[in-house]
Structure 1
Amino acid sequence: MVTPFVKRLYVRTDDFRLAHRLLSELQERNLPAKQVSPSQAIESDAYWFGTPDEVEAFGGRGVAVDVESVEETISTWLLSRQLEAPPKQLVIGIDPGPRPGCAFFSDGVLMGKREVDSIEEALRGIVDLVTHIQPERVLIRIGHGSPVHRDRLLNRTLALGYHVEIVNEHRTSSGQPRHAHGTAALKIAMMSGKPVHEQREVEVSEGELRNLQRISRQRSKGQLTISLAAARKVARGDLTMEEALRNAGYEAS
């Protein structure tokens, strides 16, 4: 695959461990790269990855990286390239839940994947990325599990004007560690789903409301329990847990 913003890409290092990490990470991101030795001549407009010493010695469009920062360095480099050439389509996969997993594909290239602490944090990250790289089209693919979190994400992303699909995620979690939400999100992003055009009523079960009340007791160190009505507002995204506790009279020390 040749991306519209990278036509030639090389791993140009004598560091075996670094070369292996780079090639694996680039392959996962759908970025084909050729491995060459630092002394081998390459095209003047080609990007290449190597150690800081190798980049200093050979110059050109070298990107300095070490073994411990491969993923972060590639993500930063990709973002800088996207700013120069806005993509036609940004596809974002979301594994719904209280700690959503998110994966980002820009014109077929994996820009990154991560797990975040809340739906609000996931939405902020999406809006920030869209604002930065200005894609022509945004497609959100949400796994169909965890209905309350799924529908909250669906409603919010539709309200932002994005195209939204719901993906059957049963096949994404097979054999995955319990908290591998970022990996599940990556698989969701790569699967076609059913387009959704209308917002949904968020259905909250009694058990989910009781669990939110339990969490409120934990957050307030046993001082209070939010009402069922407040728990319902938290579940639907109308209030954060912090706001519900504050409304109930709790003041964090």
Structure 2
Amino acid sequence: MRVAVITADARVYYLATRVLKEYGIAFHSLSPGERVPPEVEVVLTGPHDRVDFPVKVIVRDEDFIDELLARLEGRGRFKNIYIAIDPGERPGVSVVADNRVLEVRHLKSPQDVEPIFELLEKYPGAKIKIGHGAKRHRVLMLRALEKVLGSDYPVLLVNERGTTPKVGGVEASQVQDIVAAINIGLREGKETTIGNLLNVREPTKREIEHIKHQSRIKSGGRITISSDLAREVAKGHLSLAEAIEIHRKKRKGDGDDIR
């Protein structure tokens, strides 16, 4: 038996053992802290379990079986694996390995990068690809990634022109983000670093005016942020929502109408 299930989480145990039985994979059932038999090569455990073992697969849903089978087949994962990001207000993310889509995610915001770190941990050796569009949102995301990964962390910048399909329906935008992320993962990219991508040029007057206009739309016509705040948004130092809130508090502090 090359697999052991070690968890204190009843849900994780039930899910892992059910899927293992469906695939006919024999396994050891152990409690955290028990000695792992020497024949065990892979440990299945939950996201909140603390298990010290060199090769672990985290069980969050049934998709854990793909990673487990890859480990057992001796592939050590894949030759090339990419975590691809379509930057935007709600970024799409895909994991593409040897031109095969393993999973997709839809993030809440550009600063919602914790799922990216989870994927980097789940797929050791994976490289990040990011689309070149949506500059403001891309910079916000890169700044959030830089805080943990550092400015020298390598990434691949991909020309995303033509990656977003036209989709109809209520959830069209979410589908577009995911499909774009998959297409970015399948394309070649230019090697660079997070730091290089964060060397943002001074925004043009047109870009600043566009952001000011967007602030008025987002606030329902009640607020137009200052040019200085718009410049900070353009450079990725602030999100549009943060800039609006700063403007609102400043005007309130000055005792003026927030218009």
Which of the residues 96, 109, 114 maps onto 2:87?
96
1:45 aligns with 25
Partner-residue secondary structure (3-state), 2:196? coil
- The change in CA–CA distance for 1:90 and 1:244 in structure 2 (over 3 A counts) is same
Question: TM-score w.r.t. structure 2 length?
Answer: 0.55
The offset of 1:80, in angstroms, is: 6.7
Q: CA deviation at 1:195?
A: 0.5
Secondary structure of the residue aligned to 1:119 is coil
Mapped partners of 2:139, 2:62: distance in 1: 34
User: Counterpart amino acid of 1:77?
Assistant: E
The whole-number CA distance in structure 2 between the counterparts of 1:225 and 1:171 is: 33
Question: Pairwise mapping of residues 161-240 of structure 1 onto structure 2 (< 5 A)?
Answer: 161=150, 162-173=153-164, 176-177=166-167, 179=173, 180-197=176-193, 198-200=195-197, 201-203=199-201, 204-240=203-239
CA distance in 2, matches of 1:164, 1:170: 18
Cα RMSD, aligned residues only = 3.8
Give the C-alpha shift of residue 183 in structure 1.
0.5
- TM-fit CA distance, 1:108: 6.2
Q: Which residue of 2 aligns with 1:244?
A: 243
Q: Which amino acid aligns with 2:24?
A: S
Secondary structure of 2:129's counterpart equals strand
1:51 alignment counterpart: none
Closer, same or farther: CA 199–219 of 1 in aligned 2, 3 Å: same
TM-score (norm 1): 0.56
For structure 2, the residue ranges without an aligned partner over 5 or more in a row are: 4-21, 27-58, 253-257
Determine which of 137, 141, 149 is the counterpart of 2:125.
137
How many matched pairs? Answer: 181
Note closer, same or farther for the CA distance 1:170–1:81 as it changes in structure 2 (3 Å cut): closer
Instruction: Tell whether 2:62 aligns with 1:77.
Output: yes
- Cα distance change, pair 75–107 in 1 and its aligned pair in 2 (3 A): farther
Counterpart CA distance in 1 for 2:92 and 2:101 is: 14
User: Would the aligned equivalents of 1:95 and 1:184 in 2 still touch at CA under 8 Å?
Assistant: yes
Letter in 2 for 1:128: E
1:228 alignment partner AA: S
Gap regions ≥5 residues in structure 1: 6-41, 47-73
- Specify the code of the residue in structure 2 equivalent to 1:187: N
Residue 127 (1) aligns with residue 117 (2): yes
Identity of aligned residues (%): 29
How much does 1:226 deviate?
1.2
Distance 1:75 1:90 in 2: 20
